[in-house]
Structure 1
Amino acid sequence: MIIDFTVSNFRSIKDEYTFSLYAESKSQHLQENIAWPNDGKIGVLRTAGIYGANASGKSNLLRAFLALRFIICSSGDLKDGDSIPCYEPYLLSEKFKDSPTSFEIEFFSRENLRFIYKVSFIEKRILSESLDYYPSRQKANIFNRNDNDTWESISFGGLYKGGRKKIAFFENNSYLSKAGNSADAPEIVRSIFNFFRNEMLYIGANHQVNMLEWKEDLEKIKKVASILSKVDTGIDGFIFKDDDENRLSLPSDMPKELKKRILDAERKKPVFFHKGENGIKNSFSEDMESSGTLKLFAMLPLLLETLEYGGILLLDELDNSFHPHIAELIIKLFNDPKVNTKNAQLIFSTHNISLMSPSVLRRDQIWLTEKRNGSTLIASLEDFDKNMVKMDSPFDKWYSDGRFGGIPSVDYTSICKTIKS
């Protein structure tokens, strides 16, 4: 579970901001929305929603998680001298456009150990990197890398044991990426690598979910069909049916295994059943279903997997194609400790004001982004005066009225003049 994520100089996020899922408030309001991993002394929010006008930086905050994931999991694949593709500094300032991007994340691993990872980098070089954890109440260092360190001079903490620590890396590789993907590295660093590789899932606004991996999973198919039938889609079951594989023209010299994967992905198409009058069932193809139904159909396996194993799901534009009640259902599933038994987390962006309700989200679960002179500002409702913004305040109405910022500034009169001119 993520406790805090600090970002600076990434895309529109110029200054340093901390996006926190630490449950600072001791209020009893919606206590079920808080998980208590490890020894139960730190409360961590199960969900968090990010609001803001278009182009205010909501998506950039979510993309910062992806950039961190690239540094941890994929920067080790870069060749000597390659540019780090996720180096995207703030470009509207001479001072920042060549300055380092910095990330810091505090989190609980699947083993309920608490870690802090920090990294700072420019276009072709990682400047600093460190990993600490809490084997007890005292923080201990696993490794520390400074700007002048090579793979031979990087320092290691005394509790970092159990394998080969010194692993060669280029200056554009993170140590965590190289060591985490090495079979003979200590287990603790490999577990962190796999945590971010396997347990952080991202679904963008136009993201196409690959269904190939669950088309043969009968148990998952059964669960997805059952849920679809209970959310008023009209669907009463579905199957994956073989399509005509000959409609694809693939190169004759393509490797057989790759050809088989492509044909399998294309051949098996979902067919949905709807019950009509007198119990008669009719089959509907994909193009006969609504975009909202298809998005929910594609997303449900990932939701189920995240809840089953306890991961982190990043959803950009949760409200896109979804009725507000469906979006609220997804949030409630993650907030419900009886359903979310593995402490999975949902972090989402949305424009859906109806979700900004004290019956759904706590004050500290609602975040706002706003552009000022081209730079993104990030704040939580928890940052506002608590005597003014109480846990049961009408968040949605006050947000719509502009009390919290984060809404687009629209000059209606000027727009009318432009149209009429």
Structure 2
Amino acid sequence: MLVQFSVDNYRSIKDKVTLSMMTSTKDKERCFKIRNYELLNSAVIYGANASGKSNVLSAMSFMKNVVLNKMKVIQSTDTLPHDPFKLNTATQDASSTFEIIFFIGTAKYRYGFEMDTTTVYAEWLYADEKGKEAKLFYREADEEEYVNPSFKEGYQFFDKKNLKINISKNQLFLWKCDQNDGEISKSILNWFKYINIINGISHDGYINYTMQQMEHEDFRTEIIKFVKTADIGLEDIQLEETDIPKDMLEKLMALEKLKENNIEVINFKQVAINTYHRKFDEQNNAVGREVFELDKEESLGTRKFFKMSAPILNTLQEGKILAIDELDASLHPMLTMHLIKLFHDPKVNTKNAQLIFTTHDTNLLKPHLFRRDQIWFTEKDVYGSTHLNALAEFKDVRKDADFEKEYIQGKYGAIPYLGKFEF
């Protein structure tokens, strides 16, 4: 479970911003308890276009990719990704810092690092199992470093005489601890895999995952049941395999390479997703079903809802964290609300999955749907830097206030200021 995420000097974020999933009001609903912490089931981020709300989720994705070494940094000459705030001379060449606090079971961890393209300047890991935080390791360039002797998977790489960790400057110590099957480091890496981050506009990026899940009958049944709850007229969804015509194969460059290696090309398959709708006669009696091809004959909203269904169900079933940028794009407000309520329903969300998303849909700004500490706003200052604040931080906002009306009126900021235009 996610407790808190912080970042500074990343894209439009110049100074440190923090997104917290801890409750900060006395409301009782839409949260769950772990140890003595109350954590929120969801959080929504509002803001004007280009205010930086997408960059908050992008920073989380960036940290995940670094921790999981998606860029494959192996040699000392390999470069790390770096995307600093470029509108200030003090930050354009400076390092960026990321920190995340989370639970694995009942153990709470705080992990973070500071880096640029060539160097990890600092990295730290703290663990709290019974209410008191213990330092497992801390590294900092040109300073004394520390590894807790009880953290055996990391202590073996610690030079006790010089108080330095033996590691290349462009690598995370967490990676090295995992190389020898470190129990804690492996559990942390696996936790980062439990963060699903998807784009609500470019939803074709995760269709492959949905199609893979459709091959499992149990999961396919759940997807169909889930899609039917949206009342978009679908009776069934099937994967259909057909042979690719040979004249089409002739146009593929890959075929020429296969021919060069004397590999015979036979039975190449293409997979399409077909939807089934009820068909009626002139007296409106059901007479059968009509087949539609999902990507050609269904609406954009239907396609998006289906393609998002697998990561949403997977998140709920396994208690993961799902971050969606522009959740409401191409979806009716009622459908968006339907998805959110799944995470708020303890009968559905039995594993305490968490949803974090950005949106422009002010219809969602209702007290019956979100608490004040679940609603966040991004706003840029005159220097182009993004600031992030929760509604709970504003004074004199009642828990039953008309959040939507007050937001539109500009009481919370985070709305565009429109200039006058004329010919």
Q: TM-score, with normalisation over the residues of structure 1? A: 0.89
For these two proteins, the number of residue pairs brought into alignment is 395
Distance 1:219 1:161 in 2: 42
Equivalent of 2:273 in 270, 285, 295: 270
Q: 1:179 offset after TM fit, Å?
A: 2.7
Alignment of 1:385-404 (within 5 A): 385=395, 388-404=396-412
Q: Decide which structure has the larger Cα Rg and report it.
A: 2
Contact 1:71–1:177 (8 Å) recurs in 2: no
How far, CA to CA, are the matches of 1:18 and 1:65 in structure 2? 11
Q: Distance in 1 between matches of 2:152 and 2:406?
A: 53
Change (3 A) 1:292 1:127: same
Q: How many Å separate the matches in 2 of 1:219 and 1:155?
A: 49
Q: In structure 1, what is the equivalent of residue 389 of structure 2?
A: 379
* Structure 1 residues 242 and 163: CA distance shift in structure 2, 3 A: same
Note the C-alpha offset of 1:77: 2.4
SS of residue matched to 1:268: strand
Question: Secondary structure of the residue that 2:235 maps to in structure 1?
Answer: strand
Distance (Å, rounded) in 1 between the aligned partners of 2:385 and 2:45: 16
Q: Who is 1:171 aligned against? A: 169
Structure 2 match to 1:73: 68
Give the whole-Å Cα distance in 2 for the aligned partners of 1:306 and 1:27: 25
Deviation at 1:98, TM superposition (A): 1.3
Q: Would you say the 8 A contact 1:13–1:376 is kept in 2?
A: yes
AA in 1 matched with 2:3: I
Residue 160 (structure 2) aligns with:
none
Question: How far apart, CA to CA, are the structure 2 residues paired with 1:25 and 1:159?
Answer: 38
Name the amino acid aligned to 1:371. Answer: K
Asked if residue 43 in structure 1 is aligned to residue 38 in structure 2, the reply is yes
Q: 1:162 to 1:171 in 2, by over 3 A?
A: closer
Partner of residue 186 from structure 1, selected from 182, 186, 195: 182
2:368 pairs with one of 359, 374, 397 = 359
The Cα of 1:164 is off from its aligned counterpart by 7.6
From the superposition, tell whether residues 328 and 165 of structure 1 become closer, same or farther in structure 2 (CA, over 3 Å). Answer: farther
Does structure 2 retain, via aligned residues, the 8 Å contact 1:226–1:237? no
SS in 2 for 1:354: helix
Within a 5 Å distance, the mapping from 1:314-329 to structure 2 comes to 314-329=323-338
- Structure 1 residue 112, shift from structure 2 partner: 2.6
User: Hey, what's the Cα distance between the residues in 2 that align with 1:103 and 1:383?
Assistant: 23
Which has more strand, going by share of residues? 2
Shift of 1:125: 0.5
Structure 1 residues 329 and 116: alpha-carbon distance in aligned structure 2, compared to 1, 3 A threshold: same
1:238-387 aligned within 5 A: 238-246=237-245, 247-248=248-249, 249=252, 250-253=254-257, 267-277=270-280, 278-279=285-286, 280-286=288-294, 287-373=296-382, 374-385=384-395
Q: Does 1:117 align with 2:111?
A: yes
Q: Which residue of 2 aligns with 1:3?
A: 3
Mark the CA change 1:162 to 1:102 in structure 2 (over 3 Å): closer, same or farther: closer
> What do residues 169-220 of structure 1 show as CA deviations (whole Å, max 9, x unaligned)?
431211113433x2x2320111001110x20111113142123421311111
| Letter of the structure 2 residue corresponding to residue 201 of structure 1 | N
The answer for the alignment partner of 2:23 in structure 1 is 23
C-alpha RMSD of matched pairs (Å): 2.3
Residue number in structure 1 paired with 2:150: 159
Aligned residue number for residue 126 of structure 1 = 120
Whether the 8 Å contact between 1:165 and 1:186 is mirrored in structure 2 is no
Question: Do residues 96 (structure 1) and 91 (structure 2) align?
Answer: yes
In structure 1, stretches of 5+ residues that fail to align are none
Runs of 4 or more off by more than 6 Å in structure 1?
Answer: none
Deviation per residue, 1:347-394 (Å, 9 max, x gap): 100000011110101000000001112111111101100xx2011111
Secondary structure of residue in 1 paired with 2:331: coil
**In structure 1, the residue corresponding to 2:123 is in which secondary structure?**
strand
| Secondary structure of residue in 1 paired with 2:152 | coil
Question: Where do 5+ consecutive residues of structure 2 fail to align?
Answer: 158-164
Aligned counterparts of 2:212 and 2:258: Cα–Cα separation in 1? 22
> Which residue identity is paired with 1:147?
A
Q: Percent identity?
A: 33
